[in-house]
Structure 1
Amino acid sequence: MTLRHCSSLCIRLIALEAGQFTGRALRDWVLKVASGAAIAAMSTCVLAHDTWFRLAPRQPGSGLLALQLGEGTRYPKNEGVIPGSRVIGAGCVDEQGRKSALLPRSEDGILELRSRLSNARAAACWLELPPVELQLTPELVKVYFDEIHASPAVREVWEAQQKSGVGWREVYRKFVRVELPVPGAAQRDPVSAGALRRAHGFPLELVPLGEAFVQTGVPAEYQALADGKPVAGLPVQFVSVRSPLGIWTQTDAQGRIRFSLPFGGEWLLRATALEPPSSAQAPWRSRFATLTVQVQ
């Protein structure tokens, strides 16, 4: 795997996600980000291109919560801007179960979204992005499989497909969640997280379980769901904002993970479910899911 191959794929993925560049604009944008993508590729060469929520560093106040939608090859480094026009199925809920819209606000370097949460003390927000089609070389597919921890069964299907002379064509979708305390909220009585943790029926989502917020050194449970049903045997990586070295684990028969995080702060859970094509003419289909949690 060469740096040139890896960085060029990363740039292609970012451009596809943005879905807004053509001609000279695309050329100028690629030149602008190429050096940053190359540096990221040199250090990790990560091809599983993730999208995530982060709390915006500047909060607007007046009962508004501002989130940023990050995009890149290595969390938390942002490498592209997703247009607000591509956001679908977005919303938030507070600890009382009150729902509110999550709307794109600005796209200056990174997409910011806002939700009016009034006097909420904690919130969970979510969104999905529409499908994107992608073609990869066999060399890039191999690295892609390694980065998402693809199963032996998936690799066997791809090997047979290669032998028959069929190339890689994929349609992927992305589903993003976050759970966090609301900045500046008054700390009164303990808050239950139960109302924040309802599934939304996405084709893939990672959902915390239980009533307690995630705490350092305390085992917490998460569940991977597809259309509301558990996803067994799904590889899930935990990545801290403090370190690029992630921790891999796998869901059990009920799609659950019980895991204790070693230190506090912001953590990202990331997973990719990859489905072989139903016929030689059909594409592979993948679903990327991320969940950002604040570990107390």
Structure 2
Amino acid sequence: MILTCRIEVPVLKKLITLLFVSASAPALAHLTWIDVGEQSLGLSTGHNFPAKEITVKGEYVQSIRCTTMAGELFELGFDAQSIRYVYPKKPANCVAKLKTTLIELTPAQGVQHFSENKVSKTLIDQVRATQKFEEEYFKLAQIRPVLVGDPLYNEDIAQFVSKPDDPKTIYVYKNGEPVPNLPVGLEYPETPITLWSNTDAEGKVKLILQPTSKALLRALITEQKGSGYKSQFLSVILEPR
């Protein structure tokens, strides 16, 4: 979802409201992913992966960090003419972090948003009992899982990761620790619905279906913050094996 902090861009407050009030039910779980090209990448957002509806422009992006095959770290800048992020070098992997947004919804819309993203029933029930819904929210998109210990690995945020001794398995880590029992959705173009499964005690992602074409893994990690909530959306592209 192309949103930014209301303090930085106040005019977007109305846009945030309109997006959520006018959207149909599936629209609240708006996906964002990296669109990989030969010379550049784009950040795409839409209701149904891989159907791109909007390109995320540079003003909404905190950073895009990439590594080469040799492990060299570099950052990408936005090209306003092409609406893309042009590679100075061919990347092996990239992680894009969007700016933090403050989302304001009615309790009913907050319940819908949390329910679509499989947030815990405890938090959903809390939202039902409130007079308003506020959520600090940012998105992280990856080309592929980040290897633990790699320059793109960041303990301060949630990421889809792999381990040096288990490179083919995908895990969810945050604060340097696995995230257990987290609902993870598989967006597979050949399947009209999101396929949900939960990470195990080690944060391992167990897919219900092994895709035979490009797909997207997505998750939302949410915690209570005062009278509101703090969330991170994360996604990673899956290539067929």
TM-score by structure 2 length? 0.80
Aligned twin of 2:153: 199
Task: Quote the Cα distance in structure 2 between the aligned partners of 1:103 and 1:231.
Answer: 31
Distance 1:198 1:14 in 2: 23
Q: Structure 1 pair 21/114, CA: closer, same or farther in 2 (3 Å)?
A: farther
Q: 1:195 to 1:131 in 2, by over 3 A?
A: closer
Aligned residue runs from structure 1 range 1-296, under 5 A = 14=2, 22=11, 41=24, 45-56=26-37, 59-60=38-39, 66-106=40-80, 111-117=83-89, 123-159=92-128, 161-162=129-130, 166-179=131-144, 199-209=153-163, 220-259=168-207, 261-278=209-226, 280=227, 283-296=228-241
Shift in alpha-carbon separation, 1:232–1:88, aligned structure 2, 3 A: same
Distance 1:210 1:243 in 2: 32
Residue 79 of structure 1 and its aligned partner are, at CA, apart by: 2.7
- CA 1:222–1:253: 2 relative to 1, 3 Å: same
Distance 2:143 2:174 in 1: 17
CA RMSD of aligned residues (A): 3.3
Structure 1 unaligned regions, length at least 5? 1-12, 61-65, 181-192, 214-219
- Give CA-to-partner distance per residue, 1:153-191, whole Å, 9 cap, x none: 2123324x42xxx311111011111139xxxxxxxxxxx
In structure 1, distance between residues paired with 2:153 and 2:68? 14
Preserved CA contact (<8 Å) 2:29 2:116 = yes
Shift of the alpha carbon at 1:70?
0.5
Offset of residue 125 of structure 1: 0.5
Please give the per-residue CA displacement for 1:23-67, whole angstroms capped at 9, x wherever unaligned. 9xx7xxx8xx9xxx86xx3xx6231222111223xx33xxxxx11
For residues 115-160 of structure 1, what are the alpha-carbon distances to aligned partners after superposition, in whole Å with 9 as ceiling and x for unaligned? 2335x7xx1110211210111112212221221011122123324x
How many Å apart are 1:14 and its aligned residue?
A: 4.2
Contact 1:84 1:107 in 2 (8 A): no
Output the amino acid matched with 2:56. I
Identify if the C-alpha distance between structure 1 residues 206 and 270 changes in structure 2 by more than 3 Å, giving closer, same or farther.
same
Amino acid of the structure 2 residue aligned with 1:178: I
More helix by share: 1
- For structure 2, the residue ranges without an aligned partner over 5 or more in a row are none
Equivalent pair of 2:67/2:152 in contact (CA under 8 Å) = no
Q: Against the structure 1 CA distance between its residues 264 and 114, is the aligned structure 2 distance closer, same or farther, given a 3 Å change threshold?
A: farther
Q: What is the match of residue 185 of structure 1?
A: none
* Deviation digits for residues 96-125 of structure 1 (CA, Å, limit 9, x no counterpart): 3222322222365xx41122335x7xx111
Runs of 4+ aligned structure 1 residues displaced above 4 Å come to: 13-23, 193-198, 209-213
Q: State the SS of the aligned residue for 1:295.
A: coil
Sequence identity, in percent? 22
Instruction: Give the 3 Å change call, closer, same or farther, for CA 228–115 of structure 1 in structure 2.
Output: farther
Mapped contact 2:5–2:100 kept (Cα < 8 A): no
- Give the secondary-structure state (helix, strand or coil) at the position aligned to 1:153: helix
Q: Could you tell me the TM-score, scaled by structure 1's length?
A: 0.67
Once residues 107 and 151 of structure 1 are traced to their aligned partners in structure 2, the CA distance between those partners, rounded to angstroms, is: 42
User: Partner letter of residue 47 of structure 1?
Assistant: L
8 Å Cα contact 1:177/1:292 also seen in 2: yes
Return closer, same or farther for 1:294/1:20 CA change in 2, 3 Å cut-off. farther
Question: Larger radius of gyration, structure 1 or 2?
Answer: 1
